[in-house]
Structure 1
């Protein structure tokens, strides 16, 4: 889904061991060349659903990716910035 200039990224932290354990969660944004643009989340979080705001007003139009990592779990999704 295209966005301009901000979007809400919804993500789920998987239940790795139990709902009572916290894992370090990283959610980072990358450009199409794989360069890291911004770290949106870098903290311990329990399994569950979360949201984080991404402000891209300083970036150019184009395709960006965000990567969620929690333990061995890695998920990458694409997003489109249109100005």
Structure 2
């Protein structure tokens, strides 16, 4: 598994998050604010192995630092992204 850094970063209002998985599994990709509150669920489903990318629209969020968390099986990774308005 590999979670990529979002691009562009910082961004306004959209960014792309990509990842790859070597085998099929239930995958989740969620976005949290800096206080740990969940602000978006981008993926929460079974996906086959492969490369994926998803566009995240933060037009309804305030400027600041956000965390995105990817989990699949026992793999978990988090990265930071910055919304600038």
Structure 1 and Structure 2 fold alike (TM over 0.5): yes
**TM-score if structure 2 supplies the norm length?**
0.85
Greater length-normalized contact order (CA 8 Å, ≥ 6 residues apart): 1
Structure 1 segment 62-77 matched on structure 2, within 5 A: 62-77=64-79
Q: CA deviation at 1:52?
A: 0.6
Structure of larger gyration radius: 1
Which stretches in structure 2 are left out of the alignment for 5+ residues?
Answer: 1-8
How many residues matched?
A: 77
Name the structure 1 match of 2:45: 43
**TM-score if structure 1 supplies the norm length?**
0.87
Secondary structure in 1 matching 2:60: coil
Q: CA deviation at 1:3?
A: 0.5
Which stretches in structure 1 are left out of the alignment for 5+ residues?
Answer: none
Name the structure 2 match of 1:7: 15
Q: CA deviation at 1:10?
A: 1.0
Secondary structure in 2 matching 1:8: strand
Over the residues paired in the alignment, what is the CA RMSD in angstroms? 0.9
Separation (CA, whole Å) in 1 of partners of 2:29 and 2:48: 14
